[in-house]
Amino acid sequence: MDYQNRAGSKFGGGGVASQSATNADRRERLRKLALETIDLDKDPYFFKNHVGSFECRLCLTVHQNDGSYLAHTQGKKHQTNLARRAAREQKEGRGQDRGSAIDPATGLPYSALLPGPRRNVIKIGRPGYKITKIRHPVSRQQGLLFQLQYPDAVPDVAPNWQVMNAFSQHVEEPDKNYQYLLVAAEPYETVGFKIPARELDKRDDRQFCFWDPDGKEFWIQAWRDETDGGPSTTKHGPPPQSTPRRLSHRESTLAAEEQHIEHDTHNATTSKVGNSAVSFNETTLMFR
């Protein structure tokens, strides 16, 4: 058999490559050529998701490998979206002088909207804190006063705080009956206080925070919204009272007898219970 003159083959060289093998070799060759000129680490639209696939944030397409993404970047759809985005940025004034341009939506310079570089700050521990249960003298609202000490806080930077629900944290098991008040200040660790999941009064004269740069103390005052769970006398005043109607002679006699019986029962209960009502009033002062 003539092995030397066979079409597309040499002695000991194997058979003719198939169409799929030729396409795979071409894609691999183009991938290596593209990686020599394109750095995927600097591509703002290149993203690797949690399942190992690659996504294009500009075109919202999913690719199985980086070679497929590189081929997509040379396609018509990606190039059209790039040109469209460049035209929009030039129209909005975000071309060459992007830092001094003004965003028409917010009225702020684009340099202020860009995220800054992430800093690696070494944490030095947790701050000291003190929690005080308070009650408004007029509205009788229940609240909490947080006092935190940051003696080594970064100068000219005030601490930040926010309220987070139980399902947004991964430290403890989520409990829908509680929420967390978080306070963060560099270089200290972020601390969280577990409080009941009740709506907070967010009015300016109720909820506030204060940072003392001289004493390095941060104060937070949070009041419970009395409208969350029952009638309130803080926003809408006491509930309206119905106008008393005139009782008949029979109804007046029955009411007098019931009042006399209730008066005797109250005296007997007071002599047995003693000061139990005082302890009940003290427990209602807790922020529950």
The mean per-residue pLDDT over the stretch 189-204 comes to: 85
- Give the domains, in start order, of the chain with CATH numbers: 22-113 (no CATH), 128-224 (2.60.40.2690)
User: What does the DSSP assignment read for 1-12?
Assistant: --STTSTT--TT
The mean per-residue pLDDT over the stretch 192-201 comes to: 86
The mean per-residue pLDDT over the stretch 197-223 comes to: 86
Q: Which residues, in sequence order, are CB contacts of 237 under 8 Å at separation 6+?
A: none
- The pLDDT value recorded for residue 121 is 72
pLDDT band for position 277 (50/70/90)?
Answer: very low
- The pLDDT value recorded for residue 218 is 92
Per-residue pLDDT of 127-178, as tens digits, reads 999 999 988 888 888 888 899 999 988 888 888 888 888 888 888 888 889 8
Average pLDDT of the chain, as a whole number: 73
pLDDT beyond 90 at 55? yes
- The pLDDT value recorded for residue 103 is 56
pLDDT band for position 91 (50/70/90)?
Answer: confident
Per-residue pLDDT of 242-272, as tens digits, reads 555 555 655 666 666 555 544 444 443 333 3
pLDDT band for position 113 (50/70/90)?
Answer: low
- The pLDDT value recorded for residue 200 is 85
User: What does the DSSP assignment read for 4-61?
Assistant: TTSTT--TTS-SPPPHHHHHHHHHHHHHHHHHHH--GGG-TTEEE-TTS-EEETTTTE
